[in-house]
Amino acid sequence: MGRVTAMALASMGAQVIVVDWEGEEGTRTRDLINAASGRDAAEFRYCDISSLDDVRRLAAEVQTAWPALHVLVNNAGITDPVRRLSVDGWEMHLATCHLGHFLLTQLLLDMLERSAPARIVNISSDAHKAGKGLDFDDINNEKIWGGRRVSNNAAFVAYHRAKLCNVYFTLEMAERLDGTGVSTYAVSPGYFVNTTIYRNISGLFRIGAGVVFGVGTLLGLNTPEKGARTQIYCAADRGLETLSGRYWSGCRDVPLSALARDADARARLWAFSVEATIA
Ligand SMILES: NC(=O)c1ccc[n+]([C@@H]2O[C@H](COP(=O)([O-])OP(=O)(O)OC[C@H]3O[C@@H](n4cnc5c(N)ncnc54)[C@H](OP(=O)(O)O)[C@@H]3O)[C@@H](O)[C@H]2O)c1
């Protein structure tokens, strides 16, 4: 969906910075965008978003090489049953889906404010509702793997928590950005969009997901193009500036879930994220 989004924004006239931790995939996306647009609309920058040093390097490169930044789409995400740690020691769902985006956004905030009107689009998921919320006694997702190396269930819990972090982050940022001309949106792309996100899931769930993906694709319901519609809308549609801090699904702002409204968890996550990435 990141590629679809970058292509769509370039087709509207934007200069796009494509970021990936896979050099081949990233340069392929850049080349596809430049071929489709008939101009040098895209550049590729390498970054493992789970690595805080990589994020710092990317932010510095962007600030040096581009005069302005109008839209930041925090899209990268994973679902991985193997318990892995980032180079900084954070569990990979937390590091990839939340901490990297958190730090990148903080480092680019000055640039976004100078470029205002500007937007930050955070790709969350309705999976943020499907669990018990954040556990601040297990913020690094150690207990949920319970000593196992591989667990689909643990991956879903870690993913649920990370996607809830995306919503808290959006709500907190919206308040902090009030009056700056920078607005922010949390997006749910829908269910079982046919991308590579579930490629590491195994067993019965993989078979089930394969069936859902197959049927959805046959009916044209869950293509990456359909899944990316709401994030493209939040990145580029006119008139959304007054709707900062909302949760979007199907190109509409929809009510926040009960978990998302937990102001105490939101404040604790903010304090933890600052401590983990900046302090
Ligand atoms: N698919 C769904 O049904 C669905 C539903 C709700 C929300 N979402 C969200 O939508 C967003 C996009 O996911 P998608 O479905 O399009 O899945 P995807 O095809 O797997 O795309 C995720 C992208 O993130 C990249 N990525 C993963 N780890 C990274 C890292 N450490 N550094 C830099 N890039 C990294 C992946 O690169 P590689 O492929 O090279 O690893 C891939 O390009 C995610 O935030 C996901 O949580 C998806």
CATH code, domain carrying 92: 3.40.50.720
Give the residue, out of 195, 213, 223, 232, with the most ligand 1 atoms within 8 A of its beta carbon, to mutate for a pocket test.
195
Q: pLDDT digit of tens for each residue in the chain (279 aa)? A: 999 999 999 999 999 999 999 999 999 999 999 999 999 999 999 999 999 999 999 999 999 999 999 999 999 999 999 999 999 999 999 999 999 999 999 999 999 999 999 999 999 999 999 999 999 999 999 999 999 999 999 999 999 999 999 999 999 999 999 999 999 999 999 988 989 888 888 888 888 888 888 888 888 889 999 999 999 999 999 999 999 999 999 999 999 999 999 999 999 999 999 999 998
Q: Report the domain count for the chain.
A: 1
Please give the distance, rounded to the nearest whole angstrom, from the Cα atom of residue 179 to the centre of ligand 1.
31
For the question of residue 159 being annotated catalytic, the response is: yes
Any idea which residue has 């900084």 for tokens? Answer: 88
* Selection from 204, 233, 273, 269 nearest residue 123 by Cα: 233
Inter-residue contact 94 to 161 (CB < 8 Å): yes
Interstrand relation of 16-20 and 252-254 (parallel, antiparallel or unpaired) = unpaired
Distance from the alpha carbon of residue 79 to the mean position of ligand 1, in angstroms: 8
Of 20, 49, 90, the residue with max ligand 1 atoms within 8 A of its CB, to mutate for a pocket test, comes to 20
Cα–Cα distances in angstroms (integers) from residue 46 to residues 162, 185, 197, in the given order: 23, 25, 19
Domain containing 78 equals 2-277
